[in-house]
Amino acid sequence: MAVGTAEGDLAVKVLDEYVKDFQKRNPMLRVFGCYLHQDEATPHLHIDFIPYVTDWKGKGMDTRVSLKQALKSLGFQGGNKHDTELNQWMNHEKKVLAESAKQHGIEWEQKGTHEEHLDVYNFKKKERKK
């Protein structure tokens, strides 16, 4: 899917379709910036959003910024520390993108190249071992 190739152009089309429906799928994630990067090996998106909820029953205003609550309002209920609302939502969005790609004849090859995100303590511990 290199930039500037026919495959790269097709990837851009898939990403464009994906982002056009992002706000419809995620109404509680207010998009304020979306950037298509074609300056690296593979075209990819950066989507900036503000997660919010309305009709908040807790203290303070009835509209508040909260990723966890916004994702809960979208139907993602956390389980354990590895099955959080965020993880469920990210997996859902990956499936949506993979399905869009599949409709264009692109099979998403999941290579598992992303390392899990570590908290500061475990990150520093891992770095010391190097």
Give the pLDDT of residue 113: 55
Neighbours of 83 (CB within 10 A): 13
Instruction: Give Cβ neighbours of residue 105 (< 8 Å, ≥ 6 apart).
Output: none
- Given a cut of 90, whether residue 27 has pLDDT beyond it is yes
97-112: pLDDT as tens digits: 999 999 999 888 776 6
User: pLDDT above 70 covers what percent of the chain?
Assistant: 92
Tell me the three state secondary structure of residue 63: coil
* CA-based nearest residue to 45, from 83, 88, 87, 101: 101
Closest residue by Cα to residue 45 from 96, 83, 107: 96
The whole-number average pLDDT for the span 58-76 is 90
Q: Are 53 and 68 in contact (CB under 8 A)?
A: no
Mean of pLDDT values over 28-55 = 91
